[in-house]
Amino acid sequence: MRSRVWRGTTAVVLGGLLAAGCGGGEETGGRDARAPGPDGHPVTVTDCEGARTTFARAPEKIVTSNASGLELLLRLGAGDKVTGTGFPPGEGTLPGALDARARKVPVLGRTVIPKEKLLASGADVYLDTFASMENMGGGGAGNAPTEAEFAAAGIKHLYLKSTACASTRGKPVTDLSAVEADITTLGAVTGTSARAEKLVAGMREKVAAARKLSRGTPDAERPTYFFFDYDAGTKQPTAVCGRQVANAVITLAGARNIFAGCDGDFQRVDWEEVVAKDPDWIQLGVRDRGGETANRKAFDEARQWLEDNPATKGLTAVRKKRFLRIGSEPTTIAGVRNADTVQEIARTLYPGKGA
């Protein structure tokens, strides 16, 4: 999928607004060079092709392409501005009170929002997690709107950097700076910068504590790790590659993703490749079923499949029962919970070291 990304200009940096990027080093959040008003506006952002979009004021009606952008806006306290979403989160998949608030957001598409419905949504902003919807229109959604069509409908089209720039990264992503940049920039755009700063600070604190656990362990001696995407199918496994946020989560936790070298974010591989790499640990990356009992059953099924399958039952991780029961969403969907997953993995791989 061809990816585009949005990042803000930083002519003036105020209120702790960060300048961070995909893997670091790129500008991602900022304000317009004009003197900001009481709410921090105007704010200008640009996509990876240099197109600039200025917000004179915070948007009032935002449509999100999927649960990733929706969750970030809910955590920022801007959920009341979300008037529709595609790919809605399943019931119970968001933690705590976020789930109930997410249920109230109108669903404009169970998958990709149809073009006509999106353009007629009355949104001020479309927050796009997918980089380019034109490659995702085959599922009954029709063609994605062009930038001219977005403009004619009065919709400003923005992208989440952490999920929409896999093809523009020149190297694997090994930190959460792009996720932090999305939070910071969304905070600036929606007028919730103070909340954004708190979220980013909390993530950094958790990641810093987790990294202490593997401190002193040479890279070559860190355990190898395989994210088993059970729900993506077992006939041919789907690997998380170096440009997927899960690679950053695994790396920060002190492990070595066995497929960090594959190009892109996800890639189909063969079980022979997994066997050849013989991971020390396997994460049972099942998708949230909406309840503890259903989730436990799904984790059990994934573990049992690995133990029964002739190709995988001899793997080191399987023989030694080194499984991590951590869901797909907080690992592969960019967001605040990535930091929690870093902690959980690190505590499992480096027990007895404190956190």
Note whether 220 and 192 are same-domain residues: no
**DSSP codes, 25-67:** SS----B-SSPP-TT---EEEEETT--EEEESS--S-EEESSH
Looking at residue 220, the DSSP 8-state letter turns out to be G
Would residue 134 count as lying in a domain? yes
Final residue before a domain boundary, out of 170, 200, 230: 200
Where among 200, 226, 245 does a domain terminate? Answer: 200
Pairing of strands 266-268, 238-240: antiparallel
Question: Is 207 part of any domain?
Answer: no
Residue type, 265: D
CB atoms within 10 A of CB 266: 20
Q: Domain for residue 355, yes or no?
A: no
Residue 282 in any domain: the answer is yes
Q: Are residues 125 and 31 in the same domain?
A: yes
Please indicate, yes or no, whether residues 97 and 221 belong to a single structural domain of this protein: no
User: What is the spatial distance between Cα 224 and Cα 345, in angstroms, rounded to a whole number?
Assistant: 12
For residue 254 the two structure tokens come to: 């002190």
Domain containing residue 257: CATH number: 3.40.50.1980
Contact 238, 283 (CB under 8 A): no
In terms of Cα–Cα distance, which of 223, 211, 216, 242 is closest to 339?
A: 211
Question: 66 with 176, same domain?
Answer: yes
Ordered per-residue pLDDT tens for the chain, 355 residues: 333 333 333 222 222 332 233 333 333 444 444 556 667 899 998 765 667 889 999 999 999 999 999 999 999 999 999 999 999 998 888 888 999 999 999 999 999 999 999 999 999 999 998 765 343 333 334 578 998 999 999 999 998 888 877 656 678 999 999 999 999 999 999 999 999 999 999 999 999 999 999 999 999 999 999 999 999 999 999 999 999 999 999 999 999 999 999 988 899 999 999 999 999 999 999 999 888 999 999 999 999 999 999 999 999 999 999 999 999 999 999 999 999 999 999 999 999 776 5
pLDDT attached to residue 90? 84
Query: Do 193 and 241 have their domain in common?
Result: no
Q: Are residues 122 and 259 in the same domain?
A: no
Domain boundary among the residues 200, 224, 242 is at: 200
Residue 146 lies in a domain: yes
One domain for residues 39 and 178: yes
Question: Domain check: are 193 and 221 in the same one?
Answer: no
Q: Which SS3 state, helix, strand or coil, does residue 236 take? A: coil
The tally of domains found in the chain comes to 2
Asked if 112 and 47 sit in the same domain, the reply is: yes
Q: 267 and 189, same structural domain? A: no
How would you write 132-146 as a 3-class SS string? CHHHCCCCCCCCCCC
User: Could you tell me the end-to-end alpha-carbon distance of the chain, in angstroms, rounded to an integer?
Assistant: 38
Domain hosting residue 332, numbered range: 216-349
Residue 59 lies in a domain: yes
Same-domain pairing of 195 and 273: no
C-alpha 252 chain-centroid distance = 15
In the block, residue with structure tokens 């480096």: 350
The answer to whether residue 211 is domain-embedded is: no
What would the two tokens of residue 208 be?
């810093």
Please choose, from the candidates 156, 221, 224, the residue with its C-alpha nearest in 3D space to the C-alpha of residue 189: 156
Same domain for 231 and 185: no
Is 354 within a domain?
A: no
- Give the strands of the sheet with 323-324, arranged side by side: 256-257, 224-228, 281-284, 323-324
